[in-house]
């Protein structure tokens, strides 16, 4: 796509707004509606387990890299995930359930139901495969044991006990006596499938190494203390080097130390001290790089064999705890999950393996003396309350930008620079929406208290400043749902959950409708004298002048038939389009649907209209932005601004991608995106206004 876009010079594409000066190594990211608790990947897929029980799958290869692949439903909060080496099997585990999924490559979609599911009687601490990948191994820290299942049918094959018999049952012949729990439960168990070793950590105690093939303790490891203290610091995490010949175990401690040791001899190999704690450790599949997740949200990279630090990703504004880290199959990227986000990192030190020197002759000095390389901090801006953008509305050659503190900026459409600031609402009455009538220079502004103010604004952006004349200042009821300015800017339609009232600018009630509870109202795009009210699958037409119904309801039946449930996003229209459209997202299926109708077909003489509909499986809608002429613009969950033609949409074979919005730009819960001209989109990023000019020139067609 880069070649398609930039092979020829262009002066049309331009972004107005503050420049991003400090870029970090975050390639992209995914936002979810709930917390992420598990992550794993293979050569083709990335899997993220969520608190809701969903498992989101994303492509990692091909033209659709980083796009959504499928959504699996484990049922309960996903604690653990693991792919086999062939990328054909995904194992998921919750606190009491183990499932296996078929993810092998084929032309068919990934199977959305598990191959098998088994109930387990313990809370697993880790999940892995045996060396031949014929068995699934779950660790049970509370029981100091490993439970092994057959990968084909989920049958429990055996339980490996990793503790010595207690004095109470040393003379007993009953093997079940070991289940009495007369031992110290482990905090963590980590496995080495190559050597069939298990490392067990205990609260404020040493690390025990067990041969889980014979259930024999190989030995105990305690790190060296310079001050001869006797209390062992708490272990935070452990990971074995995946290369059998290396024979190293990495351990992070509560006191900030990271240590490696030989698991067979328990000899300490190297140690590095940090001023922070590494709560999570992970390693690349080639055994070269050790990654640690710090409590401050940063990520440290070391050479595993020497513990030489090679990179530091610092995120001072992110205080979310990293739950897990997983390296890609080619070890050029890694993924972390924190809060409701999964980040994709591509540090340059992983891309260029010659970028660091792991020659032991040159790194034999004490690791504490080696300075830790550090990249520039990411642009971790702390947004000040009251400054965030909450509404955007085009006005002639200007933009009206509503903010959290109740002010309205008048900004230049070309550059995004603030020309002046209007103070129409009370201080800190957050602006909810703006509506500008260009013919009469009239502005309707609404704040979150449902106070709606109609003003006439002249000389905006010129001379000594805008001249503001108040025409109406009114506060709506607490159950107000919509307020619409008439086409001639002579009245307002004020809607509540139970009724709709037509209010003149002098405050008098011109008409009222109480029979359409919960209806969604719009100006008729093709008939300025009419209003449209949508309720379920019906449309009702009203006169603007008196709010009188002009005909019976018009039946809107989508074709092909699409299930439209209550709570779906409402219909929308735009001033520059004669179409009405709505976008429906099905999160569990990672699919979307679009329904559209040409507004000119909705007339008093019409009894029923077959609206056009389209089911999209190649992307999922995050939000619908609006219409430009006969095209619908939307933001998909991958961060692309896309468009699709509404003409004969039922027969559409593709949609079009235009440009990508980085995760860090759309990390706000309610990002404000607005079509401000035929060739420009405005985007509110915290308190910053970004304007994308000429974006329609860039096109990449995506098959539906």
| Average pLDDT estimate for 453-465 | 87
Instruction: State pTM to two decimals.
Output: 0.68
Q: Give the lowest-confidence range in 208-217, 385-394, 435-444, 493-502.
A: 385-394
Number of residues assigned to the chain: 704
| Average pLDDT estimate for 465-471 | 93
pLDDT digits (tens, 9 = 90+) for 547-598: 999 988 999 887 766 766 666 788 999 988 999 999 987 755 567 889 999 9
Peptide bond into 528 cis (omega under 30): no
How many other C-beta atoms can be found within 10 angstroms of the C-beta atom of residue 568? 16
* Residue 170 pLDDT level (bands cut at 50, 70, 90): very low
The Cα 458–Cα 418 span in angstroms is: 17
The Cα 335–Cα 354 span in angstroms is: 22
| Average pLDDT estimate for 537-545 | 94
Residues forming beta bridges with residue 83, ordered by sequence position? 90
Most confident listed range (48-52, 427-431, 634-638)? 48-52
| Average pLDDT estimate for 615-628 | 86
Q: Give the lowest-confidence range in 268-282, 377-391, 439-453.
A: 377-391
* Residue 383 pLDDT level (bands cut at 50, 70, 90): very low
- Of 386 and 691, the structure prediction assigns the larger pLDDT to 691
Q: Where in the chain is the domain with CATH 2.130.10.10?
A: 33-161+325-346, 183-314+348-378
Q: Does domain 183-314+348-378 have CATH number 3.40.50.300?
A: no
| Average pLDDT estimate for 369-378 | 43
The Cα 626–Cα 581 span in angstroms is: 8
**Calculated CA dihedral for residues 37, 43, 44, 48, nearest 10 degrees:** 0
CATH architecture of 33-161+325-346: 7 Propeller (2.130)
- Of 621 and 398, the structure prediction assigns the larger pLDDT to 398
In this model, does residue 2 exceed pLDDT 60?
Answer: no
Exposed, middle or buried, 392 (CB in 10 Å: 0-12/13-18/19+)?
Answer: buried
| Average pLDDT estimate for 441-452 | 96
Confidence at residue 371, expressed as pLDDT on a 0 to 100 scale: 47
- Of 369 and 518, the structure prediction assigns the larger pLDDT to 518
The Cα 149–Cα 91 span in angstroms is: 11
Q: For the chain, what percent of residues have pLDDT higher than 90?
A: 60
pLDDT digits (tens, 9 = 90+) for 90-127: 999 999 999 999 988 655 566 678 999 999 999 999 99
Confidence at residue 566, expressed as pLDDT on a 0 to 100 scale: 65
The Cα 622–Cα 641 span in angstroms is: 10
- Of 454 and 354, the structure prediction assigns the larger pLDDT to 454
Exposed, middle or buried, 267 (CB in 10 Å: 0-12/13-18/19+)?
Answer: exposed
Whose CA is closest to 449, among 484, 413, 417, 425? 425
pLDDT digits (tens, 9 = 90+) for 310-320: 999 887 556 68
In this model, does residue 5 exceed pLDDT 70?
Answer: no
Mean pLDDT of the chain: 85
| φ/ψ (deg, to 5) at 359 | -70, 120
| 5 DSSP assignment | H
pLDDT digits (tens, 9 = 90+) for 496-515: 999 999 999 999 999 999 99
State the residue for tokens 């078929």: 102
| Average pLDDT estimate for 222-232 | 69
* Residue 204 pLDDT level (bands cut at 50, 70, 90): confident
| Average pLDDT estimate for 474-490 | 94
How many other C-beta atoms can be found within 10 angstroms of the C-beta atom of residue 608? 10
- Of 373 and 142, the structure prediction assigns the larger pLDDT to 142
The Cα 346–Cα 367 span in angstroms is: 25
Confidence at residue 382, expressed as pLDDT on a 0 to 100 scale: 42
Exposed, middle or buried, 21 (CB in 10 Å: 0-12/13-18/19+)?
Answer: exposed
* Residue 247 pLDDT level (bands cut at 50, 70, 90): very high
* Residue 296 pLDDT level (bands cut at 50, 70, 90): confident
The Cα 362–Cα 350 span in angstroms is: 20
Confidence at residue 231, expressed as pLDDT on a 0 to 100 scale: 63
The Cα 504–Cα 602 span in angstroms is: 26
């Amino acid at each position: 796509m880069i070649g398609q876009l930039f092979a020829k010079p262009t002066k049309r594409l331009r972004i107005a707004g503050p420049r991003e000066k400090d870029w970090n190594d975050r390639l992209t990211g995914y936002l979810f509606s709930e917390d992420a608790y598990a992550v794993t990947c293979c050569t083709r897929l990335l899997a993220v387990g969520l608190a809701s029980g969903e498992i989101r799958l994303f492509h990692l290869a091909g033209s659709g890299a980083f796009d959504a692949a499928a959504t699996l439903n484990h049922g309960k909060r996903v604690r653990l995930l693991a792919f086999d080496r062939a990328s054909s099997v995904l194992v998921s585990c919750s606190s009491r359930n183990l499932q296996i999924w078929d993810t092998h490559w084929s032309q068919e979609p990934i199977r959305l139901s598990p191959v098998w599911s088994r109930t387990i009687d313990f809370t697993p601490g880790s999940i892995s495969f045996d060396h031949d990948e014929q068995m699934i191994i779950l660790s049970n820290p509370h029981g100091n044991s490993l439970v092994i299942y057959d990968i084909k049918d989920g049958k429990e094959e055996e339980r490996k006990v990793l503790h010595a018999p207690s004095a109470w049952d040393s003379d007993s012949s009953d093997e079940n006596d070991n289940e009495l729990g007369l031992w110290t439960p482990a905090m963590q168990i980590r496995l080495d499938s190559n050597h069939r070793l298990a490392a067990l950590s205990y609260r404020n105690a040493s690390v025990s190494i067990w041969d889980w093939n014979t259930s024999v303790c190989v030995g105990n490891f305690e790190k060296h203390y310079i001050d001869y203290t006797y209390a062992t610091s708490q272990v935070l995490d452990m990971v074995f080097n995946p290369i059998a010949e290396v024979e190293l175990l990495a351990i992070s401690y509560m006191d900030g130390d990271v240590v490696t040791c030989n698991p067979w001899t328990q000899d300490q190999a190297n140690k590095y001290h940090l001023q922070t704690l590494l709560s999570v450790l992970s390693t690349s599949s080639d055994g070269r790089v050790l990654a640690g997740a710090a409590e401050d949200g940063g990520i440290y990279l070391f050479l595993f064999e020497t513990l030489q630090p090679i990179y530091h990703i610092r995120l001072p504004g992110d205080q979310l705890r990293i739950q897990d880290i997983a390296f890609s199959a080619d070890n050029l990227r890694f993924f972390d999950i924190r809060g409701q986000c999964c980040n994709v990192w591509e540090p340059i030190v992983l891309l260029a393996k010659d970028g660091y020197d792991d020659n032991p002759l040159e790194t034999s000095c004490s690791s504490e003396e080696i300075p830790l390389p550090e990249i520039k901090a990411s642009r971790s801006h702390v947004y000040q309350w009251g400054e965030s953008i909450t509404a955007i509305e085009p006005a002639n050659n200007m933009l009206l930008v509503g903010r959290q503190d109740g002010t309205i900026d008048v900004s230049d459409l070309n550059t995004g620079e603030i020309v002046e600031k209007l103070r129409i609402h009370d201080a800190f009455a957050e602006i909810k929406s703006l509506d500008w009538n260009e013919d009469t220079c009239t502005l309707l502004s609404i704040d979150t208290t449902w106070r709606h103010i109609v003003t006439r604004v002249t000389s905006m952006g010129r001379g000594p400043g805008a001249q503001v004349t108040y025409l109406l200042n009114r506060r709506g009821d607490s159950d107000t749902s919509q307020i619409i300015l008439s086409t001639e800017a002579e009245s307002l339609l004020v809607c509540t959950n139970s009724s709709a009232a037509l209010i003149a600018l002098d405050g008098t009630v011109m008409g009222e409708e109480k029979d359409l509870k919960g209806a969604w109202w719009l100006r008729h795009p093709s008939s300025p004298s009419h209003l449209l009210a949508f309720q379920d699958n019906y449309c009702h037409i009203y006169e603007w002048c008196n709010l009188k119904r002009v005909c019976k309801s018009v039946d809107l039946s989508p074709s092909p038939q699409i299930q439209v449930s209550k709570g779906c996003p409402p219909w929308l229209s735009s001033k520059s389009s004669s179409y009405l459209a709505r976008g429906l997202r099905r999160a569990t299926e990672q699919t979307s649907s679009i329904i559209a109708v040409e507004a000119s077909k909705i007339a008093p003489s019409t009894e029923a209209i077959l609206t056009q509909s389209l089911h999209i499986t190649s992307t999922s809608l995050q939000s619908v932005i609006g219409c430009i002429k006969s095209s619908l613009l939307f933001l998909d969950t991958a961060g692309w601004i896309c468009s699709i033609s509404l003409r004969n949409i039922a027969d559409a074979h593709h949609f079009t991608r235009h440009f990508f919005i980085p995760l860090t730009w759309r990390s706000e819960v309610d990002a404000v995106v607005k079509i401000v001209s035929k060739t420009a989109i405005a985007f509110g990023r915290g308190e910053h206004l970004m304007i994308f000019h000429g974006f329609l020139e860039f096109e990449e067609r995506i098959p539906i």
